[in-house]
Amino acid sequence: MMSNTEVRDSTASGSGPENTGPKNKAKPVLIAASIVAVLALAASVWFGIGWKDAIDDRQMAQTRDSALTGAQQAVLNMTTLDSANLDESFDTILTSVTGEEMNQFIEDMRTSFTEDQRDLSAKTTSELLTGALTELSADDGTAEAVVVVATTTTRDGFDPSRQRLVMEVGMQDVDGTWKASRAAPVGNPVPLNPTADPNAVDPNAVDPNAVDPNAVDPNAVDPEAGFDSPPPADATEPEVSEPETPAGP
């Protein structure tokens, strides 16, 4: 038989089955908490990546819009001139270009205008028709674009002249502002209001000297007319001589 002392010692030592229950119940709780923590971390990483992609896409869209807007404005400025305010016109063009070559080209154009040309009272305005980016490198800050404009030139004593002009421009990001580093026309300008040539021949015009193939010649002989047809009114009847009477014996 075991004494009371032995029973108390066995219980105190924790070797009995009564102390195993609480520890076994704690393990599933810890495992579940760990799984929840891992899932929460994975979710935060996943949604964090999604937000980053969304921000990157929005920034790229903004970059494309800025580059295209800069290209369109550069072409509009380069195709707008007022002979009465040439210096102001060229100053505006210089705000939308970059690079030594482009700046020198614009300055050379400014100085090429003579005083007579400045006094012509001529003015060219430009209207944007369409435009699109063909290349974009956000990392390099460069882009290529094609811009189509309609120009209208007015001059005293002349009718306004309208043309469609296609320009290809290279763009450069300069401190957050997109400017043209080069520009070149694509093809020849297309007249939008062509005028008629006064010397041109109208294919539908009738030549007053032309001979009508259906006209009847009044002097022509009718091949269908018979022998019984009356002679012309001015025809002369042949003279008929009477037979001579023979003399008597």
Is the pLDDT confidence value at 54 over 50? yes
pLDDT of residue 119: 73
What local confidence, expressed as pLDDT, does residue 185 receive? 94
Residue 241 or residue 96, greater confidence = 96
> In angstroms, rounded to a whole number, what is the distance separating the alpha carbons of residues 228 and 138?
103
Stretch 130-145: mean pLDDT, rounded?
Answer: 94
End-to-end CA distance of the chain: 220
Q: What domains can you pick out in the chain, each with its CATH number? A: 56-191 (3.10.450.230)
- The percent of residues above 70 in pLDDT, for the chain, comes to 55
pLDDT of residue 215: 55
Helices in 127-226 by DSSP H: which ranges? none
Record the tokens describing residue 146, joined without a space.
Answer: 């094609």
204 vs 240: CA distance, rounded Å: 59
Please indicate, yes or no, whether the overall pTM of this predicted structure exceeds 0.75: no
* Average pLDDT over every residue of 33-56: 62
pLDDT mean across residues, the chain:
75
Q: Quick check: 190 and 104 in contact, CB under 8 A?
A: no
Higher pLDDT, 88 or 208: 88
Predicted pLDDT of residue 47: 59
* Per-residue pLDDT reduced to its tens digit, 160-182: 999 999 999 999 999 999 999 99
Which residues are CB-contacts of 78 (< 8 A; sequence separation ≥ 6)? 93, 96, 97, 167, 180, 183
- For residue 7, what pLDDT band results from cuts at 50, 70 and 90? very low
Q: Supply the pLDDT for residue 124.
A: 93
